[in-house]
A and B are shown apart, each in its own frame.
Chain A
Amino acid sequence: QGRIHQIEYAMEAVKQGSATVGLKSKSHAILVALKRASSELAAHQKKIIPIDDHIGVSIAGLTADARLLSNFMRSECLNSRYAYDSPLPVSRLVSAVGNKSQIPTQRYGRRPFGVGLLVAGYDDQGPHIYQTCPSANYYDCKAMAIGARSQSARTYVEKHLDKFLECSLDELIKHGLRALRETLPQEVELTTKNCSLGIVGKDMEFTIYDDDDVQKYLAMIEGEERSRAAPPADQAAMDTQEGEGQQPADPQPADPAVEEQGMEH
C-alpha cells in the first residue's frame, strides 16, 4: 500500500506518552506537561527539558530517545554560541533535529526515534512553538498538544486560538493548564505532583516550574468549572440511543432493531 509501517509505529509510541501542550503569545512561549505517577523510590523523570537559555522542550514517547535528541539539541545550541557568539535561531535548531531524525528512517538496521517534541523558544523573530515527529517532519505551530488523549487539548486550543496572541502571561498559562486539564478524566485533577510548566519570553530565560512552584498557577484555575469533558465516544453514543447511525464506537445498550442492521453488514 506504500506505507512505511516502522514510522507509523514510532508515531504511535508518541501517543503512549502523557499529554503536553505548547502555546505562544506575542511575547512568551509556554509548555505545560502532565507527569505520570512514578515510583516513590526514584526521582521524578523530567518531562520538560531545558535546552538553552532561550529554548526548552517537552517530550512525549520513549524517554531514552528523548534524552538523545535533547543532548543533540543542547550541543547544537552550544556550538552556535561558541562559533557565532549568538543564540541559535529556533527554526534552525528544529530543522537540524528534523534532519537528524530522518536518517534512522532510511538506514539499514536502525529505527525511527520514538519520541515527539514540543519546542518552545524565543529569538529575534519572536516566540515560537514547534512540533517534531518521529517521521522527521516538523511543524511551526500557533499552539499544539501531543501525547495520550491530546485530542481534547487540541480541541480546546483551537477554540481559543484567536485569544492567545494578545494574552498576558498569566492568561496564557491559564489557557495552557485548562487545555491540559481537558486530557484528564473527570476523577483526576491537575496537582503540583502531576503537572510541569516551562516559560520563555522576551525578557525571560527558559524557566521550568515543578512541584510547589506550579501551585501559584494552579490556584488561578482552581474552582473553575470543567467543561462537560464528555469524550467524543460518549457523544456518539448519546446520538445512537435515538436509533440513528451505526456508530461502531457505541458503548451504550444497543437498540435491538439497530443491532439487526449491524449484523447484516
Chain B
Amino acid sequence: MATFFGEILPVISRAVDDDDDDESFENLETYVKIKWKKEAQEEMELTKDKKLQANAFVLAVGPAATGFTQTYVTHKNYEIIGAMFCGMKEDDVNTFGQMSPTDKTCYIYRKCDYPSALVCECNYDIRPEYAHSFVNQLMSCLNLCEGHVVIFGSTFTSEYKSDVPTSDMNPPFMRALKTASFLGTPMAPYLEQPNVATGLPAQMLTYCHIHKLNAVLYMCYTDSIHLDFATLKTFQPLIESTPVKYMREENKKASETLKKIVDLHTKHSTLYM
C-alpha cells in the first residue's frame, strides 16, 4: 500500500480462516474449571440429581462486593467447599487466601450451621466470554428451585448513562435488577434505561431468569478506581436483603476488617497520589 508521502507499507490481511473460529470456541468451555472438596462431591453423589441442595446463594463479583461479603457474611462459621479456576497464568500471584488483590480464584463457601446457604466470592474480573461457562458449571451442581439468589457487583460511574451529570448523583450509589420470579421489591432503585448490566453478574441473573429462580442483582456504581470505604459502605444496607439476612454473621470487628480490605487494595496503587 502506498501512502500519501510515497512510502510503501506492508498490508496485513484481516481475512480469517474458518478453522480458527472452531478452535477458540473449544477453549471457552474448558477454560473454566470447578473443583469441589471431596466431602461436597460425596454429598452430591448421594442426591437424586447429583446436585447440592441450596436454599440461599450469594454471588459476589469484584473487590467491593467480595469485601462486603468477607466482612459481614463469610468471616466466620463458613467453610470452603469448592473453588473455580479461570484463566490462571504462570506469573499470577496466588496466595489462595484472597490476601492479594491479584488472587485469581473464586471460592465457594458454605455456612457451617446452615448447609444450604452458599456464597461464591469472585475477587477478580471474569471475562465476559467465560461467564457463560462459569455460570453453567457452577449452577449445574446446585439445586436452587425453592431458593433465593442475590448477586452483588460493582462498576464505574463512567459506565452509567443518564441525563443527570454523574457528579450530581452523589456516587457511589446502588442500582438493582431482578428476575420475573422474584416477587418482592429490591432494596435499591431499578437500573434505569439505557443502562445495562454486563459480565458475570448479568450472566448469572440471566441464568436465574431463564430457570425461573428468585434472584436480584445489586450493582454499585462507584467513582473511585481504588476500593474505598464509601463504596464498601454502599453495600451495607444490603445486609438486610433476602437471603443475606439469614446468612450473615455479626462481626464486631467490622471496621477493622473493612480497613484491612481497603488497605490491601490501596497499597498496590502508586499511580495516583
Contacts and interface: CB of A to CB of B under 8 A. Distances in A.
Contacts of A187: 229, 255, 258-259
A17 interface: yes
A231 B230 contact: yes
A262 B230 contact: no
A63 B271 contact: yes
Contacts of A59: 273
Interface string A58-78: 011111001000000000000
Nearest to A114: B272
B228 interface: yes
Contacts, number: 92
Interface residues of A, number: 38
A247 to B, nearest CB: 9
Q: Is the interface of A mostly helix, strand, loop or mixed?
A: loop
A62 B272 contact: yes
A79 interface: no
Interface stretch (B16-24, B56-64, B185-193): B185-193
B192 A248 contact: yes
A4 interface: no
A66 to B, nearest CB: 7
Residue from B228, B233, B266, B272 having most chain A Cβ neighbours under 10 A: B272
Contacts of B269: 36
Interface in A122-150: 148-149
Interface in A96-135: none
A15 B258 CA distance: 22
A36 B228 CA distance: 11
Contact of A233 (B173, B192, B255): B173
Given A15-B223, A187-B255, A259-B189, A252 B237 contact: yes
A251 B173 contact: yes
B170 interface: yes
16 contacts: A15-B223, A16-B272, A62-B271, A63-B271, A66-B273, A185-B229, A233-B170, A248-B164, A248-B173, A248-B192, A249-B169, A251-B173, A251-B174, A262-B190, A262-B192, A265-B192
Interface of A: 13, 15-18, 36-39, 45, 47, 59-63, 66, 148-149, 185, 187-188, 231-233, 236, 248-254, 256, 259, 262-263, 265
